[in-house]
Amino acid sequence: MSLVRKLLPPLVSGTLFGAGLTVSGMTDPARVRGFLDVFGAWDATLVFVMGAAVLFMAVAWRIRQRMGTPAFAERFSLPDRQDLDGRLIAGAILFGTGWGLAGLCPGPAVASLVLAPLGVLPFILAMLAGMAAQRVLTLVPRRSQSVVE
């Protein structure tokens, strides 16, 4: 696979994702915290952003069902129920807690680096430190799904 064919899809989709986050205002931590403040000054804007994402994803799933192979890969890489384990659940809890406290998640934080780098730099550095800590703390590889002796 050529380098262009390998790098172009993530570059285009990442740019589109970042532009969507910026246009929708999701790079503003106050807006995200407003969405999470259900019993206070609730801001429903994120519901519409999520709704649009679900709509486009529903269409993408229908298209994928009709495709034999993906356009830019050799095969589809889809999650299965075996992916749902304690590590994933613990990570989701940590992610959600960080999102609620900071009003940012990785996508909007990276997009915000272009708009207000000093405002999100502490979050980015803490996120990178957390990713590094996870790598150090999980030096033991995951148990194999099927071990044959």
Q: Domains in the chain: how many in total?
A: 1
Q: What is the pLDDT of residues 86-135, one digit of tens each?
A: 888 888 888 888 888 888 888 888 888 887 888 888 888 988 998 888 88
Q: What is the pLDDT of residues 1-27, one digit of tens each?
A: 688 878 888 899 888 988 888 888 888
User: Does a structural domain hold residue 36?
Assistant: yes
User: Does a structural domain hold residue 26?
Assistant: yes
DSSP run (H or E) holding 79: none
User: Does a structural domain hold residue 147?
Assistant: no
Q: What is the pLDDT of residues 44-101, one digit of tens each?
A: 888 998 899 999 999 998 998 888 888 888 888 877 777 788 888 888 888 888 888 8
* Predicted confidence (pLDDT) at residue 143 exceeds the cutoff of 70: no
pLDDT for position 148: 44
Task: Flag whether the pTM goes above 0.95.
Answer: no
User: Does a structural domain hold residue 80?
Assistant: yes
How many helices (H) and strands (E) the chain has is answered by 6, 0
User: Does a structural domain hold residue 22?
Assistant: yes
- Give the pLDDT band of residue 141 (cuts 50, 70, 90): low
Q: Which contacts (CB < 8 Å, 24+ apart) does range 1-9 have?
A: 1/74, 5/72, 6/72, 8/72, 9/71, 9/72
> Which residues form the domain of 69?
3-137
